[in-house]
Amino acid sequence: MHQRFLRHGACLALAFFALLPAFVRAQPAQQLDRPLTPEQFNACVQGLAQQTGLSGRPLSRTDFERFAAGARYDDRVRQSMLVTVSEPTFWWDELAATTDDDRVQQGRAILAREAQTLQRIEAQFGVPREIVIAIYGIETNYGPSQGKIPVLDAAFSLACLRPCPETATAQGSCMSRERAFATVRVLRDGRVRAENWQGSWAAAFGRTQFVPDSFEQLAVDFDGDGFSDIINSEPDAWATTANHLKTRGGWIQGAPVYIEVAIPPAQQAEFNTGGESKRYPERAKPLSQWAAQGWTALGPDGQPVPLQLPGDPEVHPFLPVGLPGPAFLVTRNFETLLRYNRSVRYAMEVGLLANKLAGGRDFVTPWPTDDPGLTRAQVRELQAWLVSRGHTQVVPDGVVGRITRDAIEKELAAKGLPPARRAGQRTMQALMQP
Protein backbone atom coordinates (compact mmCIF):
# COMPACT_ATOMS: atom_id res chain seq x y z
CA MET A 1 0.00 0.00 0.00
CA HIS A 2 1.10 3.42 -0.81
CA GLN A 3 1.10 6.16 1.76
CA ARG A 4 1.32 9.82 1.73
CA PHE A 5 3.87 11.78 3.63
CA LEU A 6 3.85 15.04 5.44
CA ARG A 7 6.39 17.26 3.82
CA HIS A 8 4.62 18.01 0.60
CA GLY A 9 4.88 21.64 -0.18
CA ALA A 10 1.27 21.89 -0.97
CA CYS A 11 -0.80 19.64 1.11
CA LEU A 12 0.61 19.14 4.50
CA ALA A 13 -2.67 19.62 6.30
CA LEU A 14 -4.38 17.30 3.96
CA ALA A 15 -1.96 14.53 4.63
CA PHE A 16 -2.60 14.82 8.34
CA PHE A 17 -6.18 13.96 8.09
CA ALA A 18 -6.74 12.09 5.01
CA LEU A 19 -4.03 9.61 4.55
CA LEU A 20 -3.54 7.75 7.71
CA PRO A 21 -3.02 4.11 7.64
CA ALA A 22 -5.71 2.40 9.68
CA PHE A 23 -3.25 1.29 12.28
CA VAL A 24 -2.47 4.91 13.07
CA ARG A 25 -6.08 5.89 13.22
CA ALA A 26 -7.04 3.00 15.45
CA GLN A 27 -4.67 3.98 18.20
CA PRO A 28 -5.52 6.58 20.82
CA ALA A 29 -3.23 9.60 20.71
CA GLN A 30 -2.16 9.37 24.34
CA GLN A 31 -0.10 6.28 23.59
CA LEU A 32 2.15 8.55 21.61
CA ASP A 33 2.52 11.13 24.33
CA ARG A 34 6.30 10.89 24.69
CA PRO A 35 9.29 9.97 22.53
CA LEU A 36 10.72 6.48 22.71
CA THR A 37 13.83 6.32 24.87
CA PRO A 38 17.04 4.97 23.29
CA GLU A 39 16.62 1.87 25.47
CA GLN A 40 13.07 1.30 24.20
CA PHE A 41 14.14 1.76 20.59
CA ASN A 42 17.12 -0.57 20.91
CA ALA A 43 15.01 -3.23 22.60
CA CYS A 44 12.46 -2.91 19.81
CA VAL A 45 15.11 -3.31 17.10
CA GLN A 46 16.49 -6.36 18.87
CA GLY A 47 12.98 -7.76 19.01
CA LEU A 48 12.58 -7.21 15.28
CA ALA A 49 15.88 -9.01 14.67
CA GLN A 50 14.38 -12.09 16.30
CA GLN A 51 11.36 -11.93 14.00
CA THR A 52 12.99 -11.89 10.56
CA GLY A 53 11.33 -15.26 9.96
CA LEU A 54 8.08 -13.29 9.73
CA SER A 55 9.34 -11.16 6.86
CA GLY A 56 7.02 -11.31 3.86
CA ARG A 57 10.03 -12.08 1.65
CA PRO A 58 13.17 -13.93 2.69
CA LEU A 59 15.39 -11.89 5.01
CA SER A 60 18.22 -13.29 7.10
CA ARG A 61 18.87 -12.10 10.59
CA THR A 62 22.45 -11.29 9.60
CA ASP A 63 21.32 -9.03 6.78
CA PHE A 64 18.75 -7.42 9.03
CA GLU A 65 21.29 -6.64 11.74
CA ARG A 66 23.80 -5.29 9.24
CA PHE A 67 21.39 -2.57 8.09
CA ALA A 68 19.45 -2.12 11.34
CA ALA A 69 22.69 -0.98 12.94
CA GLY A 70 22.32 2.22 10.93
CA ALA A 71 18.72 2.95 11.97
CA ARG A 72 18.04 5.85 14.34
CA TYR A 73 14.86 6.77 16.14
CA ASP A 74 13.33 9.87 14.57
CA ASP A 75 10.77 11.61 16.72
CA ARG A 76 9.30 13.45 13.73
CA VAL A 77 7.51 10.19 12.98
CA ARG A 78 5.72 10.25 16.32
CA GLN A 79 4.95 13.96 16.00
CA SER A 80 3.44 13.43 12.57
CA MET A 81 1.31 10.59 13.86
CA LEU A 82 0.09 12.83 16.66
CA VAL A 83 -0.85 15.69 14.38
CA THR A 84 -2.58 13.20 12.18
CA VAL A 85 -5.01 12.21 14.86
CA SER A 86 -5.64 15.60 16.40
CA GLU A 87 -6.42 18.41 13.99
CA PRO A 88 -9.69 18.56 12.03
CA THR A 89 -9.42 19.79 8.47
CA PHE A 90 -11.96 20.77 5.85
CA TRP A 91 -12.64 19.54 2.35
CA TRP A 92 -12.97 23.04 0.94
CA ASP A 93 -9.61 24.13 2.33
CA GLU A 94 -7.72 21.13 1.10
CA LEU A 95 -9.19 20.84 -2.36
CA ALA A 96 -8.73 24.59 -2.91
CA ALA A 97 -5.01 24.29 -2.15
CA THR A 98 -4.40 20.90 -3.78
CA THR A 99 -6.04 21.76 -7.08
CA ASP A 100 -5.20 25.47 -7.23
CA ASP A 101 -4.35 27.23 -10.49
CA ASP A 102 -0.60 27.03 -9.91
CA ARG A 103 -0.72 23.27 -9.64
CA VAL A 104 -2.96 22.99 -12.69
CA GLN A 105 -0.64 25.17 -14.79
CA GLN A 106 2.44 23.29 -13.67
CA GLY A 107 0.80 19.94 -14.42
CA ARG A 108 -0.30 21.05 -17.87
CA ALA A 109 3.25 22.14 -18.65
CA ILE A 110 4.50 18.64 -17.79
CA LEU A 111 1.75 17.04 -19.87
CA ALA A 112 2.86 19.13 -22.85
CA ARG A 113 6.60 18.68 -22.32
CA GLU A 114 6.47 14.91 -21.71
CA ALA A 115 3.62 14.03 -24.06
CA GLN A 116 5.49 11.21 -25.77
CA THR A 117 6.59 9.42 -22.60
CA LEU A 118 3.16 9.82 -21.05
CA GLN A 119 1.52 8.51 -24.19
CA ARG A 120 3.64 5.36 -23.97
CA ILE A 121 2.81 4.89 -20.29
CA GLU A 122 -0.89 5.35 -21.01
CA ALA A 123 -0.72 2.82 -23.83
CA GLN A 124 1.10 0.23 -21.74
CA PHE A 125 -0.86 0.51 -18.48
CA GLY A 126 -4.21 1.92 -19.56
CA VAL A 127 -4.17 4.70 -17.00
CA PRO A 128 -4.84 8.26 -18.19
CA ARG A 129 -1.81 10.53 -18.14
CA GLU A 130 -3.77 13.18 -16.24
CA ILE A 131 -4.32 10.75 -13.36
CA VAL A 132 -0.63 9.91 -13.19
CA ILE A 133 0.40 13.56 -13.30
CA ALA A 134 -2.26 14.52 -10.73
CA ILE A 135 -0.79 11.96 -8.34
CA TYR A 136 2.68 13.33 -9.07
CA GLY A 137 1.48 16.86 -8.33
CA ILE A 138 -0.28 15.95 -5.13
CA GLU A 139 2.32 13.58 -3.74
CA THR A 140 5.46 15.67 -4.19
CA ASN A 141 4.41 18.90 -5.88
CA TYR A 142 5.78 17.47 -9.14
CA GLY A 143 9.00 16.22 -7.68
CA PRO A 144 10.69 18.55 -5.24
CA SER A 145 8.88 17.56 -2.03
CA GLN A 146 9.90 13.94 -1.61
CA GLY A 147 10.38 14.09 2.16
CA LYS A 148 13.33 14.72 4.45
CA ILE A 149 13.34 11.81 6.88
CA PRO A 150 15.80 8.96 6.27
CA VAL A 151 13.61 6.10 5.06
CA LEU A 152 15.37 3.55 7.26
CA ASP A 153 14.83 5.70 10.34
CA ALA A 154 11.20 6.37 9.46
CA ALA A 155 10.40 2.69 8.91
CA PHE A 156 12.08 1.59 12.13
CA SER A 157 10.59 4.41 14.20
CA LEU A 158 7.16 3.55 12.85
CA ALA A 159 7.62 -0.14 13.60
CA CYS A 160 8.65 0.65 17.17
CA LEU A 161 5.96 3.26 17.80
CA ARG A 162 3.33 0.86 16.50
CA PRO A 163 4.48 -2.59 17.54
CA CYS A 164 2.63 -5.54 16.07
CA PRO A 165 0.17 -7.56 18.10
CA GLU A 166 1.50 -10.89 19.29
CA THR A 167 -1.15 -12.59 17.22
CA ALA A 168 0.50 -11.36 13.99
CA THR A 169 2.56 -14.47 13.44
CA ALA A 170 2.09 -15.00 9.70
CA GLN A 171 4.81 -13.87 7.31
CA GLY A 172 4.27 -10.30 6.19
CA SER A 173 1.18 -10.06 8.38
CA CYS A 174 1.82 -6.81 10.21
CA MET A 175 2.23 -3.63 8.21
CA SER A 176 4.58 -1.66 10.42
CA ARG A 177 6.98 -4.57 10.92
CA GLU A 178 6.84 -5.56 7.27
CA ARG A 179 7.68 -2.00 6.26
CA ALA A 180 10.87 -2.14 8.35
CA PHE A 181 11.79 -5.50 6.86
CA ALA A 182 11.06 -4.30 3.32
CA THR A 183 13.23 -1.24 3.91
CA VAL A 184 16.14 -3.51 4.82
CA ARG A 185 15.46 -5.78 1.84
CA VAL A 186 15.48 -2.82 -0.56
CA LEU A 187 18.86 -1.74 0.83
CA ARG A 188 20.23 -5.28 0.83
CA ASP A 189 19.23 -5.73 -2.80
CA GLY A 190 20.83 -2.44 -3.82
CA ARG A 191 17.58 -1.10 -5.25
CA VAL A 192 18.19 2.40 -3.89
CA ARG A 193 21.33 4.29 -3.07
CA ALA A 194 21.69 4.00 0.68
CA GLU A 195 23.19 7.43 1.22
CA ASN A 196 20.64 10.20 1.40
CA TRP A 197 17.63 7.90 0.95
CA GLN A 198 14.89 10.13 2.31
CA GLY A 199 11.12 10.17 2.36
CA SER A 200 8.07 10.73 4.50
CA TRP A 201 7.38 9.91 8.12
CA ALA A 202 5.58 6.80 6.86
CA ALA A 203 8.71 5.77 4.89
CA ALA A 204 7.20 6.63 1.50
CA PHE A 205 9.81 7.87 -0.95
CA GLY A 206 10.36 8.97 -4.52
CA ARG A 207 8.55 11.24 -6.94
CA THR A 208 5.22 9.51 -6.42
CA GLN A 209 5.87 8.29 -2.87
CA PHE A 210 6.00 4.54 -2.61
CA VAL A 211 6.59 2.67 0.61
CA PRO A 212 9.39 0.10 0.34
CA ASP A 213 7.04 -2.91 0.36
CA SER A 214 5.03 -1.55 -2.59
CA PHE A 215 8.18 -0.41 -4.38
CA GLU A 216 9.62 -3.92 -4.17
CA GLN A 217 6.59 -5.37 -5.87
CA LEU A 218 5.65 -2.71 -8.39
CA ALA A 219 8.70 -0.70 -9.40
CA VAL A 220 9.13 -0.25 -13.15
CA ASP A 221 12.18 0.76 -15.16
CA PHE A 222 10.57 2.79 -17.91
CA ASP A 223 13.52 4.83 -19.13
CA GLY A 224 15.41 1.64 -19.91
CA ASP A 225 18.60 2.19 -17.93
CA GLY A 226 18.16 -1.12 -16.12
CA PHE A 227 17.33 0.46 -12.75
CA SER A 228 13.94 1.38 -11.30
CA ASP A 229 14.71 4.81 -9.95
CA ILE A 230 11.51 6.46 -8.71
CA ILE A 231 13.56 9.14 -6.94
CA ASN A 232 15.38 10.62 -9.91
CA SER A 233 13.57 9.35 -13.01
CA GLU A 234 10.16 10.78 -13.87
CA PRO A 235 9.37 8.01 -16.40
CA ASP A 236 10.20 5.33 -13.80
CA ALA A 237 8.08 7.02 -11.11
CA TRP A 238 5.12 7.60 -13.44
CA ALA A 239 5.19 4.06 -14.82
CA THR A 240 5.46 2.63 -11.31
CA THR A 241 2.38 4.62 -10.31
CA ALA A 242 0.47 3.51 -13.40
CA ASN A 243 1.56 -0.06 -12.71
CA HIS A 244 0.15 0.21 -9.18
CA LEU A 245 -3.20 1.48 -10.44
CA LYS A 246 -3.37 -1.21 -13.10
CA THR A 247 -2.05 -4.15 -11.10
CA ARG A 248 -3.43 -3.53 -7.63
CA GLY A 249 -6.59 -1.73 -8.52
CA GLY A 250 -7.59 -2.85 -11.98
CA TRP A 251 -8.04 0.58 -13.54
CA ILE A 252 -11.03 0.69 -15.89
CA GLN A 253 -10.09 2.41 -19.11
CA GLY A 254 -12.43 5.14 -20.20
CA ALA A 255 -14.30 5.47 -16.89
CA PRO A 256 -14.07 8.67 -14.85
CA VAL A 257 -13.24 8.67 -11.14
CA TYR A 258 -16.46 10.42 -10.19
CA ILE A 259 -19.59 11.96 -11.67
CA GLU A 260 -21.13 14.91 -9.87
CA VAL A 261 -24.85 14.30 -9.58
CA ALA A 262 -28.17 15.73 -8.52
CA ILE A 263 -30.06 13.42 -6.19
CA PRO A 264 -33.83 13.50 -6.79
CA PRO A 265 -35.51 15.50 -3.97
CA ALA A 266 -37.59 12.54 -2.83
CA GLN A 267 -34.42 10.51 -2.20
CA GLN A 268 -32.38 13.21 -0.51
CA ALA A 269 -33.45 12.35 3.04
CA GLU A 270 -31.91 8.93 2.52
CA PHE A 271 -28.54 10.59 1.98
CA ASN A 272 -28.67 13.01 4.87
CA THR A 273 -25.42 12.12 6.58
CA GLY A 274 -25.61 14.82 9.24
CA GLY A 275 -22.54 16.51 7.80
CA GLU A 276 -20.45 13.35 7.82
CA SER A 277 -18.47 12.06 4.89
CA LYS A 278 -20.13 8.88 3.70
CA ARG A 279 -19.99 6.56 0.77
CA TYR A 280 -22.24 3.63 -0.03
CA PRO A 281 -20.24 0.87 -1.73
CA GLU A 282 -22.88 -1.67 -0.73
CA ARG A 283 -25.31 0.14 -3.01
CA ALA A 284 -23.19 -0.16 -6.14
CA LYS A 285 -25.21 -0.80 -9.29
CA PRO A 286 -25.00 0.04 -12.98
CA LEU A 287 -25.16 3.71 -13.82
CA SER A 288 -28.29 3.17 -15.90
CA GLN A 289 -30.18 2.01 -12.81
CA TRP A 290 -29.42 5.25 -10.98
CA ALA A 291 -30.58 7.12 -14.07
CA ALA A 292 -33.79 5.07 -14.02
CA GLN A 293 -34.34 6.27 -10.43
CA GLY A 294 -34.17 9.88 -11.57
CA TRP A 295 -30.55 10.65 -10.79
CA THR A 296 -28.82 13.02 -13.23
CA ALA A 297 -25.33 14.31 -13.80
CA LEU A 298 -24.67 18.03 -13.47
CA GLY A 299 -23.52 19.98 -16.49
CA PRO A 300 -21.07 22.88 -16.28
CA ASP A 301 -23.79 25.34 -15.35
CA GLY A 302 -25.59 23.01 -12.99
CA GLN A 303 -28.13 21.88 -15.57
CA PRO A 304 -29.21 18.21 -15.44
CA VAL A 305 -27.42 15.96 -17.92
CA PRO A 306 -28.38 12.31 -18.58
CA LEU A 307 -26.30 9.73 -16.70
CA GLN A 308 -24.67 7.47 -19.21
CA LEU A 309 -21.24 6.07 -19.89
CA PRO A 310 -19.87 3.49 -22.29
CA GLY A 311 -20.05 0.05 -20.70
CA ASP A 312 -22.59 1.20 -18.08
CA PRO A 313 -20.14 0.78 -15.15
CA GLU A 314 -21.21 0.06 -11.60
CA VAL A 315 -21.16 3.16 -9.41
CA HIS A 316 -22.08 4.06 -5.88
CA PRO A 317 -22.97 7.31 -4.08
CA PHE A 318 -20.39 9.33 -2.21
CA LEU A 319 -21.21 12.43 -0.19
CA PRO A 320 -18.06 14.12 1.12
CA VAL A 321 -19.91 16.34 3.61
CA GLY A 322 -23.51 15.22 3.23
CA LEU A 323 -26.29 17.46 1.93
CA PRO A 324 -26.23 20.28 1.14
CA GLY A 325 -22.91 19.86 -0.58
CA PRO A 326 -21.53 18.19 -3.69
CA ALA A 327 -22.81 14.66 -4.29
CA PHE A 328 -21.15 12.07 -6.49
CA LEU A 329 -21.49 8.68 -8.04
CA VAL A 330 -18.04 7.10 -7.98
CA THR A 331 -16.68 4.33 -10.15
CA ARG A 332 -14.32 1.48 -9.45
CA ASN A 333 -11.50 3.81 -10.40
CA PHE A 334 -12.29 5.77 -7.25
CA GLU A 335 -11.77 2.57 -5.28
CA THR A 336 -8.58 1.92 -7.22
CA LEU A 337 -7.26 5.27 -6.03
CA LEU A 338 -8.15 4.21 -2.49
CA ARG A 339 -5.77 1.30 -2.87
CA TYR A 340 -3.08 3.75 -3.75
CA ASN A 341 -3.92 5.79 -0.70
CA ARG A 342 -6.84 4.91 1.47
CA SER A 343 -8.23 8.39 1.96
CA VAL A 344 -11.45 9.32 0.18
CA ARG A 345 -10.29 12.92 0.20
CA TYR A 346 -7.12 11.92 -1.59
CA ALA A 347 -9.11 10.04 -4.22
CA MET A 348 -11.29 13.08 -4.86
CA GLU A 349 -8.28 15.38 -5.04
CA VAL A 350 -6.63 13.20 -7.63
CA GLY A 351 -9.88 12.94 -9.58
CA LEU A 352 -10.52 16.68 -9.49
CA LEU A 353 -6.96 17.69 -10.32
CA ALA A 354 -6.85 15.20 -13.19
CA ASN A 355 -10.12 16.60 -14.44
CA LYS A 356 -8.78 20.15 -14.31
CA LEU A 357 -5.56 19.07 -16.05
CA ALA A 358 -7.72 17.69 -18.84
CA GLY A 359 -9.48 21.04 -19.20
CA GLY A 360 -12.44 20.28 -16.93
CA ARG A 361 -13.74 22.40 -14.11
CA ASP A 362 -14.32 22.46 -10.42
CA PHE A 363 -17.38 20.89 -8.82
CA VAL A 364 -20.61 22.67 -9.72
CA THR A 365 -22.29 22.41 -6.31
CA PRO A 366 -20.80 24.79 -3.74
CA TRP A 367 -19.44 23.51 -0.47
CA PRO A 368 -21.67 24.36 2.50
CA THR A 369 -19.48 27.20 3.75
CA ASP A 370 -19.52 30.99 3.47
CA ASP A 371 -15.73 30.99 3.79
CA PRO A 372 -14.26 29.00 0.88
CA GLY A 373 -10.70 27.73 0.96
CA LEU A 374 -7.50 29.51 -0.05
CA THR A 375 -5.07 28.81 -2.83
CA ARG A 376 -1.48 28.15 -1.79
CA ALA A 377 -0.51 31.60 -3.04
CA GLN A 378 -3.13 33.10 -0.73
CA VAL A 379 -1.94 30.96 2.16
CA ARG A 380 1.59 32.28 1.61
CA GLU A 381 0.25 35.83 1.61
CA LEU A 382 -1.63 35.22 4.84
CA GLN A 383 1.42 33.60 6.39
CA ALA A 384 3.62 36.55 5.43
CA TRP A 385 1.08 38.81 7.10
CA LEU A 386 1.13 36.64 10.22
CA VAL A 387 4.91 36.95 10.29
CA SER A 388 4.58 40.72 10.02
CA ARG A 389 2.24 40.59 13.02
CA GLY A 390 5.00 39.04 15.09
CA HIS A 391 4.35 35.33 14.56
CA THR A 392 7.92 34.81 13.51
CA GLN A 393 7.74 31.02 13.71
CA VAL A 394 5.31 30.94 10.80
CA VAL A 395 7.01 29.95 7.56
CA PRO A 396 5.31 31.36 4.42
CA ASP A 397 5.38 28.06 2.56
CA GLY A 398 1.73 27.80 1.55
CA VAL A 399 1.17 24.90 3.91
CA VAL A 400 -1.24 25.32 6.81
CA GLY A 401 0.29 23.47 9.73
CA ARG A 402 -0.04 23.72 13.47
CA ILE A 403 2.06 26.88 13.82
CA THR A 404 0.03 28.73 11.20
CA ARG A 405 -3.18 27.56 12.86
CA ASP A 406 -1.97 28.78 16.25
CA ALA A 407 -1.20 32.20 14.77
CA ILE A 408 -4.58 32.42 13.01
CA GLU A 409 -6.32 31.57 16.26
CA LYS A 410 -4.45 34.29 18.15
CA GLU A 411 -5.05 36.95 15.51
CA LEU A 412 -8.77 36.16 15.37
CA ALA A 413 -8.95 36.54 19.15
CA ALA A 414 -7.01 39.80 19.03
CA LYS A 415 -9.52 41.20 16.52
CA GLY A 416 -12.52 39.93 18.48
CA LEU A 417 -13.52 37.65 15.60
CA PRO A 418 -15.16 34.25 16.14
CA PRO A 419 -12.61 31.64 17.22
CA ALA A 420 -11.24 29.27 14.56
CA ARG A 421 -8.04 27.51 13.60
CA ARG A 422 -8.40 28.02 9.87
CA ALA A 423 -8.94 30.87 7.47
CA GLY A 424 -10.83 30.92 4.19
CA GLN A 425 -11.42 33.78 1.76
CA ARG A 426 -13.70 35.71 4.09
CA THR A 427 -11.65 35.21 7.26
CA MET A 428 -8.45 36.16 5.46
CA GLN A 429 -10.00 39.44 4.35
CA ALA A 430 -11.39 40.16 7.80
CA LEU A 431 -8.05 39.44 9.42
CA MET A 432 -5.91 41.45 7.05
CA GLN A 433 -8.15 44.51 6.97
CA PRO A 434 -6.18 47.41 8.39
CB of 224 or CB of 418, closer to Ca ion = 224
Q: How far is the CB of 341 from Ca ion (least distance, A)?
A: 24
- By beta-carbon proximity to Ca ion, the closer residue of 227 and 280 is 227
In the stretch 172-211, what mask flags binding to Ca ion with x, by CB under 5 A? ----------------------------------------
**DSSP code per residue over 153-191:** HHHHHHHHHSPPPTT--STT--HHHHHHHHHHHHHHTT-
List the x/- string, 304-343, binding to Ca ion by CB under 5 A: ----------------------------------------
SS3 138: helix
Q: Is 234 in the site for Ca ion (CB under 5 A)?
A: no
User: Does 221 interact with Ca ion (rule: CB under 5 A)?
Assistant: yes
Interacting span for Ca ion (CB under 5 A) from 233-241, 320-328, 336-344, 410-418: 233-241
Which among 279, 293, 294 has a CA at the least distance from the CA of 331? Answer: 279
Distance CA 134, CA 351 (A): 8
CB under 8 Å, gap of 24 or more: what pairs does 191-196 form? Answer: 191/215, 191/216, 191/219, 191/228, 192/151, 192/231
Nearer to Ca ion, 192 or 348 (CB): 192
236 lines the binding site for Ca ion (CB under 5 A): yes
Asked whether the beta carbons of 307 and 261 are under 8 A apart, the reply is yes
Say whether residue 223 binds Ca ion (CB under 5 A): yes
Of 54-62, 123-131, 186-194, 230-238: span binding Ca ion (CB under 5 A)? 230-238
Count interface residues toward Ca ion (CB under 5 A): 7
Closest CA to 105 of 301, 401, 376: 376
> Which one of the spans 225-233, 247-255, 289-297, 382-390 is the region binding Ca ion (CB under 5 A)?
225-233
**Minimum CB–partner distance for residue 217 and Ca ion (Å):** 17
Sign, Cα dihedral of 90, 95, 101, 103: positive
Enumerate residues 6+ apart whose C-beta is below 8 A from 337.
Answer: 245, 249, 257, 346, 347, 350, 351
Q: Kindly list the residues in this chain that would bind Ca ion in the complex (CB under 5 A).
A: 221, 223, 225, 227, 229, 233, 236
